[in-house]
Amino acid sequence: MSETGTALGQVALLAALLVLTVPFLGRGLAATYSPGGRHLGAERVAYRVLRVDPDADQHWRSYVGAVLGFSLVGVLALYALGRLQQHLPYSLGFPALPADGAWNTAVSFVTNTNWQWYSGEAATGHLYQATGLAVQNFLSAAVGMAVAAAFVRGLARRRTGEGDGAGRVGNFWADLVRTTVRVLLPMALLLAVVLAVLGVVQNLHDPQAVTTLTGGQQSIAGGPVASQEAIKQLGTNGGGFYNANSAHPFENPGPISNLLATYAMLVIPFALAWAFGIMAGDRRQGGAVLAVMAVLFATSVALLTWAEMAGPGQAPQLAGGAMEGKEQRFGLAATALWAATTTGTSTGAVNGMHDSLTAPGGGIAMFNMMLGEVIPGGVGSGLYGMLVLAVVTVFISGLMVGRTPEYLGKRIGQREIVLVAGYVLTTPTLVLVGGALALTTADGLAGLQASGPHGLSEAVYAVASASNNNGSAFAGLTSGTPFWNSLLGTCMLLGRFVPIVLVLALAGRFARQGVRPPSSGTLPTHRPLFVVLLAGVTLVLVGLTYVPVLALGPIAESLS
Amino acid sequence: MLQDLYSLARYALAGLRVLVALTLLLGVLYPLAVLGFAQAAVPWRADGSLLTATGGHTTDPGDAVGSALLGQLVDDPTLFQPRPSAAGDGYDPLSSYGSNLGPDDPRLVDLVRERQAEVAEREGVAVAQVPPDAVTASGSGLDPAISPAYAALQVPRVARENGLGEDEVRDLVAEHTTGRALGTLGEPAVDVLELNIAVRAAAGQ
């Protein structure tokens, strides 16, 4: 088979897996978040012990409070675990993480970013990884999905009443526990078992010394990797057990584990779009959103694959192929597919080094993140991000024809559009202000490995990655300094929670409204026309915001 | 304001109870369940796919010469050489990584040129015949495999140095080559450690 043929073959396999499973999982998710569903026996016991009322329908403000309170505790607990590492069992003799580093990592994993300034096998013990990092891999994913569920409820509900009953969007604790127990844990368990069979390690060893075939010494690192790898991919987290992340053979031993890990990043985000259609009472609405995600994602896969297989640039041309930073068992096409997936989904795991991608390839990866992580985005955040863009689209379309814009029968008035504008502007502000800070201070510049356009790309990629809660890196950047840890930690925190608060406020406003019947002036939001409009708005928003910085970075590099 | 802070504290307290309970489930029970399964069902793989000097499976590092999944430095001119590695001083599993050099970085261009000259001289071929994986460092720095093209390039030298026929060595390479999974996934790859173990066995060492 030709090179292009095999590249298409792997995409066809991935697409088939997704088509077969997304509707099924989507139905399951919709049932999980439907109001009045029954509690499982274990859940009921848990709620009683934890003294939370899972049936209380929370006002959006209470929902926000619960999200923030829970996340705050998560950050503090993870910070404490990192600072106390030397006293923990299975710490492999590693010392405590430094204060700025422990804070950065705590924020990073609680915000579902999984930016890593440290090298896993050289800084973190098994207990910190399993009870700290892996737990937040589950919980940060569950928080994102809970917020998405609350937002969809706000859109789908009819007038939750005036006064005290207004603006109710569901119960955070029930959403959190159900997402974890019914969705993430069973899926992770299944994937972890399959990965272990494929060769991903699962042990509690200290590094083991072996004498190599030619008499050298090699220290082989172990760890509970399969269990962590599964949720790292499924929860679009991306924080590697080892420094090399999914390029490491112990995390990703071969082409089959590689395909499954790629699939795992995509399945929940796409299924949530499907679930949205069911919850909104009109599957076509979910289909339209899913179509936009799929079309933009497929385009980025095609472009990135083309870039890596063409291999522009001096070093790839000289070597005969862009294999720097790539593994032989995956090759160019599987690495390109992964790079598009990990940046399109806010995962940030890598199976090859993004800093060594070709200039156009690295540019597309950066562009995917700048889209705001919506093709199909992180678990939860991808769906609510795309729905906010849908609101922008009906608003713009409404202005063009002079009608009052509405989405799913909900009117988009002044208050609503202010919240939407705040959402859309948050991450670009963080990226551009953060990038400017990095490039105008000595501490910021000190971290860059490259100079010229590639150096600019390293810095902008880092702040874009942090602000959009992706976590992948142009890893030539030395980011483990107090300056970079603090800057990126702040970007991650604001980039996660400011949009969440705005989205939940919007959910509250929508929940309060009744549903207007569609009129002749209503823009149908399930037709191909809307798909095109939404894709256009997504691209134009990013384009207008980021073209200058992209021109100075990857575009200048591609043209030089 | 005070009211808000009070509410946040209340939510944080509820959050703490939930976090502790879920940490027991997700951070202790879940990894232990996977550990129990993996150690019972696939102990060799769970412990890192370690190989003995004769190519047998072992879980005892004292008996092992390395992992089938991890590349290692080959300090022996009679054996197949792995790809260049940016992990520590080369193939150090305690500092897995790539070079992270950009495609137009002059340092990378120089490295590629040096490696091409080195490989061409070692194998006695023209620079143009050296395949890309022979002159580039992998993402992990622990790549266990080389391309069939790079293996083929090394066959004449390995055969000569070990007193073996070229066809015999070519057969060993074919035996240790994994094709694309399901015909379309990944790239064909030759596991260097497994191949070198087989070469040693064939040479009667």
ipTM of the complex: 0.97
**Neighboring chain B residues of A197 at a CB cutoff of 8 Å:** 41-42, 45
Confidence at residue A162, expressed as pLDDT on a 0 to 100 scale: 62
Instruction: Please calculate the CA angle A401-A405-A409 and round it to the nearest 5 degrees.
Output: 135
Do residue B9 and residue B63 come from a single domain?
no
For the stretch A477-533, pLDDT in tens is 888 899 999 999 999 999 999 999 999 999 999 999 888 888 888 889 999 999 999
Compute and round to an integer the Cα radius of gyration of chain B: 24
Confidence at residue A534, expressed as pLDDT on a 0 to 100 scale: 96
Q: Is the pLDDT of residue A277 over 70?
A: yes
Q: What integer is the mean pLDDT of A248-267?
A: 98
Q: What integer is the mean pLDDT of B31-37?
A: 98
Confidence at residue A160, expressed as pLDDT on a 0 to 100 scale: 60
Element of type H or E holding B113 = helix B106-123
Spatial separation of the C-alpha atoms in residues A115 and A486, rounded to whole Å: 12
What the block records as the tokens of A358 is 């070709």
Q: What integer is the mean pLDDT of A397-413?
A: 89
A186–B contact, CB cutoff 8 A:
no
Do residue B16 and residue B105 come from a single domain?
no
Spatial separation of the C-alpha atoms in residues A385 and A144, rounded to whole Å: 11
Do residue B101 and residue B37 come from a single domain?
no
For the stretch A331-363, pLDDT in tens is 999 999 999 999 999 999 999 999 999 999 999
DSSP state of B181: B
Spatial separation of the C-alpha atoms in residues A210 and B65, rounded to whole Å: 6
Q: Which residue of A has its CA nearest to B10?
A: A69
Q: Which domain holds residue B26?
A: 2-41
User: Could B69 and A242 be called an inter-chain contact, meaning their C-beta atoms sit closer than 8 Å?
Assistant: no
Do residue B15 and residue B87 come from a single domain?
no
Spatial separation of the C-alpha atoms in residues A89 and B43, rounded to whole Å: 23
Element of type H or E holding A169 = strand A168-170
Confidence at residue A255, expressed as pLDDT on a 0 to 100 scale: 97
A376 cis-preceded (ω within 30 degrees of 0): yes
What the block records as the tokens of A485 is 């840890």
Spatial separation of the C-alpha atoms in residues A169 and A152, rounded to whole Å: 9
List b or e across B157-190, with b for residues whose CB sees 16 or more CB atoms inside 10 angstroms.
bbbeebebeeeebbebbeebbbebbeebbbbbbb
| Helices of type H across A217-254 | 225-234
- Which residues of A, range 113-152, sit inside 8 Å of B by Cβ? 119, 121-122, 130-132, 134-135, 138-139
- Please check whether residue A182 lies inside any domain of the structure: no
Residue B54 has φ and ψ, to the nearest 5°, of: -100, 10
Q: Kindly write down the DSSP assignment for every residue of A269-285, as one continuous string.
A: HHHHHHHHHHHTT-HHH
Q: Give the type of residue at A517.
A: P
- Polymer length of chain A: 560
- Please check whether residue A316 lies inside any domain of the structure: no
CA distance A120 to chain B (A): 9
- Please check whether residue A419 lies inside any domain of the structure: yes
Measured CA distances, A324 to A151, A362, B102, B104, B138 (Å): 43, 13, 9, 12, 6
B1 pLDDT band, cuts 50/70/90, is: low
Q: Give the type of residue at B188.
A: P
Between A and B, how many CB-CB pairs are < 8 A? Answer: 394
Do residue B20 and residue B85 come from a single domain?
no
For the stretch B50-108, pLDDT in tens is 999 999 999 999 999 999 999 999 999 999 999 999 999 999 999 999 999 999 999 99
CA distance A75 to chain B (A): 11
Of chain B, the percentage scoring pLDDT greater than 70 comes to 99
A386 pLDDT band, cuts 50/70/90, is: very high
Q: How many domains does chain B have?
A: 2
Do residue B20 and residue B71 come from a single domain?
no
CB under 8 Å to A113, separation ≥6 — which residues? A107, A348, A465, A466, A469, A470, A471, A492, A495, A496
Measured CA distances, A152 to A24, A104, A234, A407 (Å): 19, 31, 21, 12
Check if the beta carbon of residue A475 is closer than 8 Å to that of residue A354. Answer: yes
A558–B contact, CB cutoff 8 A:
no
CA distance A350 to chain B (A): 9
Do residue B28 and residue B54 come from a single domain?
no
- Polymer length of chain B: 205
* Residue from A356, A359, A365 nearest A326 by CA: A356
- Best interface-test mutation with A: which of B1, B8, B47, B69 has the largest number of A CBs within 10 A? B69
DSSP state of A476: T
Q: How many domains does chain A have?
A: 1
Do residue B114 and residue B16 come from a single domain?
no
Confidence at residue A558, expressed as pLDDT on a 0 to 100 scale: 87
Check if the beta carbon of residue A224 is closer than 8 Å to that of residue A205. Answer: no
List b or e across B39-61, with b for residues whose CB sees 16 or more CB atoms inside 10 angstroms.
beebeebbbbbbbebebeebbeb
Which three-class secondary structure string do you get for A503-553? HHHHHHHHHHCCCCCCCCCCCCCCCHHHHHHHHHHHHHHHHHHHHHHHHHH
Do residue B34 and residue B59 come from a single domain?
no
Spatial separation of the C-alpha atoms in residues A233 and A347, rounded to whole Å: 7
Spatial separation of the C-alpha atoms in residues A251 and A240, rounded to whole Å: 8
Do residue B61 and residue B31 come from a single domain?
no
Q: Which residue of B has its CA nearest to A356?
A: B102
User: Could B94 and A130 be called an inter-chain contact, meaning their C-beta atoms sit closer than 8 Å?
Assistant: no
Measured CA distances, B148 to A37, A69, A125, A462 (Å): 56, 55, 38, 36
Spatial separation of the C-alpha atoms in residues A465 and A443, rounded to whole Å: 19
User: Could A199 and B101 be called an inter-chain contact, meaning their C-beta atoms sit closer than 8 Å?
Assistant: no
Q: Which residue has the tokens 């809660």?
A: A469
B27–A contact, CB cutoff 8 A:
yes
3-state DSSP assignment of residue A362: helix
Check if the beta carbon of residue A325 is closer than 8 Å to that of residue A245. Answer: no
A165 pLDDT band, cuts 50/70/90, is: low
Do residue B198 and residue B111 come from a single domain?
yes
Q: Which residue has the tokens 């040096």?
A: B114
* Residue from B160, B197, B153 nearest B175 by CA: B197
What the block records as the tokens of A221 is 């690192």
- Please check whether residue A547 lies inside any domain of the structure: yes
DSSP state of A242: S
Instruction: Please calculate the CA angle B63-B68-B70 and round it to the nearest 5 degrees.
Output: 105
The answer for A222, left when phi > 0, alpha when psi is -120 to 50, beta otherwise, is beta
Check if the beta carbon of residue A341 is closer than 8 Å to that of residue A347. Answer: yes
Residue A68 has φ and ψ, to the nearest 5°, of: -70, -40
Positive or negative, the CA dihedral A458, A459, A464, A469 is positive
Do residue B29 and residue B116 come from a single domain?
no
Looking at A56-70, A98-112, A543-557, B43-57, which range is the least confident one?
A543-557
User: Could B105 and A244 be called an inter-chain contact, meaning their C-beta atoms sit closer than 8 Å?
Assistant: no
Q: Is the pTM of this model over 0.90?
A: yes
The CB density around residue A125, as the number of other CB atoms within 10 Å, is: 20
What the block records as the tokens of A12 is 């066809």
Q: First CA to last CA across chain B, in angstroms?
A: 79
DSSP state of A311: -
Q: Which domain holds residue A524?
A: 376-559
Element of type H or E holding B65 = strand B64-67
- Please check whether residue A398 lies inside any domain of the structure: yes
- Please check whether residue A290 lies inside any domain of the structure: no
Element of type H or E holding A406 = strand A406-407
Check if the beta carbon of residue A218 is closer than 8 Å to that of residue B144. Answer: no
B145–A contact, CB cutoff 8 A:
yes
User: Could B14 and A122 be called an inter-chain contact, meaning their C-beta atoms sit closer than 8 Å?
Assistant: no
Q: What integer is the mean pLDDT of A23-51?
A: 88
The CB density around residue A516, as the number of other CB atoms within 10 Å, is: 13
